[in-house]
Structure 1
Amino acid sequence: MTSAQPPSAPEPSHATPPRGIGDVIRQWWNGLPRVMQWLVGVPAIILIALLPVLNPPLITTTATDFGVVMATFAMTALIAIGLNVVVGQTGLLDLGYVGFYAVGAYVVALLTSPASPLWDTADHGIFSGPWGWLACVPLAIVLTGVTGVILGTPTLRVRGDYLAIVTLGFGEIVRLLADNLSDITNGASGLQGVLYPEIARTAEYPNGVFSTANNAGTLNYGVWWYWLGIVLVIGVLIVVGNLERSRVGRSWVAIREDEDAAEIMGVPTFKYKLWAFVIGAGIGGLSGAVYAGQVQYVDPKAFTVINSMLFLCAVVLGGQGNKLGVIAGAFIIVYLPARVQGVEIGGQSLSEFKYLFFGLALVVLMIFRPQGLFPARARLVTFGRRIYGAVTRAPIAAQSQRQETEA
C-alpha cells in the first residue's frame, strides 16, 4: 500500500512578467542569441537611417524639412545620452547641462569662424579648409571635459537641490559670458561662417553635401547630418555601454541608489561622480560641435535655461538610466513640435504651445509612470531571481525524489 504523497509545492517561476511595452521588447530582445540580435539590429538601424529618404507619409513633417528635423533629433539624442550619464546613471541632478553644450559649440566657432576675434587672418592653419571642423571636434570634447573637471571638483561635494542650483548657475554663467565677452565671442552678434565637413564636393554640391546651401532634393544637408549623427550616437552608445558594464558603471549605480551606503562599502564616490561629470561634459561638447557645424552660426540665444530643461525633459520622459529610452525621449521633444508646426487652432500654431504640452506630459507621467516611458531595469536583479529559482527548485526536486523512493 503506497503512502499518500503530499502535494508538491509549485515550482517558482524565474521569469519576470512583463509590465509594459518596454518590458515586452526588452524581454524579447534579451532572449535572442547574440547573432540574432545583430541580424535584427543592423537592418533596424538601416531602416531608421533611411527614414528621411523614404519620407513615410504618416510620420513625415510637412511644414519643416524631415531631414533637418531628424538631424536635430540625432544631435539632441547625443545630448540626452550625455545627460543620462550624469542624471540617469549617477543620480546627479544637473540643470545646467546646456553650459557644456555651449562650450563645445563655441570652441568650434572660435577656432573656425572668419568672424572670430582670435585670428588676424582668414587662414586658421589646421582649423581651416575641408577638415577644419573635424580637427576641432576632439579639441571640443577635451576642453569641455576640462570644464567638467573645473565645475565638478568644487561642487560635487554638495548634493541634491544644492547641486542642482550650482549647475543651473553654471549654465547661466556660460551664456552670460558668451553674451558679454564681445572681444572674444563677438557677443550677441554671434559667430558666422563656422566650418563644417567640406567633403563630397561636386558640380552639383560645390560646397559639399554638409553645407546649408545643399537644401534641395532628397539628400539635402539635413539627411547627411542625420547620418553623421547616427554614427556618433552608435559610437557613444558603445563607449557608455562598456562603462556601464565595468566597475565604473556599477559604482554609478551604487551612488545613484544610496551614496552614503556606497561610500561605507568602499566606493570612492567623489572620484566616480567626477568621472560621470567629465564623461557627460565630453559628450555635451561633442553635441555642441555637431550643432555649430550643422547651423554654421553660434550665438548665446541657443543656450538658454529653457533648452537645458528640454534636454532634462528628454531624459525624464524616456526613462532615466536607459540609454535607448532617453533617445526615444529626445525624438519626442524634437519631432512632436515639428510635426504639429503649421497646424493652427484659433489662429495660433500648436508648435507655440510645446512647453505647455511637455509640462502636462511630465505631470501625467510622474503620476502614472514616474520611471519614464522606458524605465531602466537592473540586470543584477534579474540574475538574482534566476539564482533564487534554481536554488529553490533543487530542494523541491530532492524531496520529490525521496517521496518516490519511499513509495
Structure 2
Amino acid sequence: MATKWKAALCWLALAAAGFGLINVLIGVGVIDTFIENMLVTIGINIILATGLNLIIGFSGQFSLGHAGFMALGAYATAIITSAMPTVGGFYLSVAVGIAIAMVVAVIIGIPTLRLRGDYLAIATMGAAEIIRVILNNLKITNGAAGMFNIPALAGWPTVYVMVCLTTLMIVNFARSRAGRAIQAIREDEIAAEASGIDPTKWKLAAFVMGAATAAIGGSLDAVYIQTIAPGNFGIMNSIAILIIVVLGGVGSMTGTFMAAAVLGVLDTVLQSFGALRMVIYALALIAIMVFKPSGLLGRYEVSIRAWLDRKGVNNAASNSNRAE
C-alpha cells in the first residue's frame, strides 16, 4: 500500500512539474503560439488515442468508430457553449457530451460487440457514419455548414489537466478487476467465459469508457479550434487515431503518449513542405512500422510503482547481505 501511494505522489509531482515547466517556457518566450498549438493538438490526440487503446489494446476489440463519439462531444459543447459562453457552460457541455456518448455507445455496443475482428470494425465504422449523417441533417447542428465562432473556453492548461485526468481514469480501470477481466477476454474469450467472466458485459464497459474519453477530446477540440463540421469526423479521423495507437504499441499507454508526441512534432516540422509533407509523413510511418512492427514500445509501460517495488526488493536483499 505504501508503494502504491509513493508511486501516486511521484506521478503527481511529475505532472505538476510538467505544468510548471510549460508555464515557465511560455513566460520566457521559448514556447510561442505555434508550439502551443502543437502541444494542445498532441494533448487532444493523447486523450483520443488512450481511449481507443483501451478498446483495441486491452479488450481486443477492433473499433473504427471513435470519430463518431468525438463528434458527439464536439457538437454538445458547440451547442451548449454557444448558448452559455462561460467556463461553467463549457464543463456542463463536457458532462452532457460524455453522457450522450456513453448512451450511444451502449446502444451501438450491445449488438455490435458480439462480432469479432473485421466484422466489428465494419459495424463500428458504419455506426460512426450514421452519427455523422444524423449530425449532417439536424437543424440544431447547422447541417453540413457546421458551427462557427464557438467560444474559446479552453487553452493548453485545460487540455493538460484533462490529459492527466483521463489517463488516470483509464490506467486505473485497466489495472482494476474490470481491467483484468477485459484483458482475460482479449487473450482467450472462451477460457474467460468458462471462468465466469461475462465477455459482452466487460467489452461493453471498455467500449463505453473509450467513447467517454472520445467525447472529452471532441469537446476540447471544438472550443480550441472554434469551428466544427460533420466532415471533420469521418472515417479518416478514426484511422488517424488508430495510427497513433498502432504506432505507439497496441496495449501500451506509454507508447500512445510517445506516438502522439512524435507524430505531432513530425506534422509540425513538415508544415513548411506543403503538399509534400503528407508524402514524407507517410514514408516515415512506413519506415517505423517496417523496422518496428510492434510499435515504438510494444506493450511496454513505464511504471514507477514497479520501479519502487524493485528498489524495495534490492534494498531488502542488500540489508540481508549486510546482516549475514
**Consecutive unaligned residues in structure 2, runs of 5 or more:** 311-324
8 Å CA contact retained: 2:248, 2:298: yes
**Corresponding residue for residue 150 of structure 2:** 194
**Corresponding residue for residue 331 of structure 1:** 261
The structure 2 residue matched to 1:88, chosen from 57, 78, 82, is: 57
Displacement, 1:285? Answer: 0.6
Displacement, 1:54? Answer: 5.2
The structure 2 residue matched to 1:289, chosen from 213, 219, 223, is: 219
TM-score, normalised on structure 1? 0.67
Deviations 1:126-167 (A, max 9, x none): x35452212211111111111110110110000001001111
8 Å CA contact retained: 1:248, 1:272: yes
Amino acid at match of 2:124: T
- Please report the RMSD computed on the Cα atoms of aligned residues, expressed in angstroms: 2.7
TM-score, normalised on structure 2? 0.83
8 Å CA contact retained: 2:247, 2:289: no
1:318 aligns with 2:292: no
Aligned equivalents of 1:263, 1:307: Cα separation in 2:
34
Aligned-pair identity (%): 35
Displacement, 1:376? Answer: 1.8
**Corresponding residue for residue 99 of structure 1:** 68
**Corresponding residue for residue 300 of structure 1:** 230
Aligned equivalents of 1:373, 1:303: Cα separation in 2:
27
Displacement, 1:107? Answer: 1.2
Q: Point out the structure with the larger helix share.
A: 2
**Consecutive unaligned residues in structure 1, runs of 5 or more:** 1-29, 114-123, 198-209, 211-224, 387-407
Q: 1:97 to 1:53 in 2, by over 3 A?
A: farther
The structure 1 residue matched to 2:43, chosen from 61, 64, 74, is: 74
Q: 1:361 to 1:128 in 2, by over 3 A?
A: closer
Deviations 1:72-93 (A, max 9, x none): 1111111111111111111111
Aligned equivalents of 1:129, 1:46: Cα separation in 2:
25
Amino acid at match of 1:294: Y
Deviations 1:53-100 (A, max 9, x none): 5565xxx79xx8111121111111111111111111111111121000
8 Å CA contact retained: 2:61, 2:117: yes
Residue-pair matches, total: 300
8 Å CA contact retained: 1:89, 1:256: yes
Deviations 1:285-338 (A, max 9, x none): 111111111122221121122121110001111111111211221222322111
8 Å CA contact retained: 2:62, 2:117: yes
Q: 1:189 to 1:372 in 2, by over 3 A?
A: same
**Corresponding residue for residue 205 of structure 2:** 275
Amino acid at match of 2:135: A
Q: 1:336 to 1:377 in 2, by over 3 A?
A: closer
Amino acid at match of 1:189: A
Aligned equivalents of 1:68, 1:89: Cα separation in 2:
30
Amino acid at match of 2:50: I
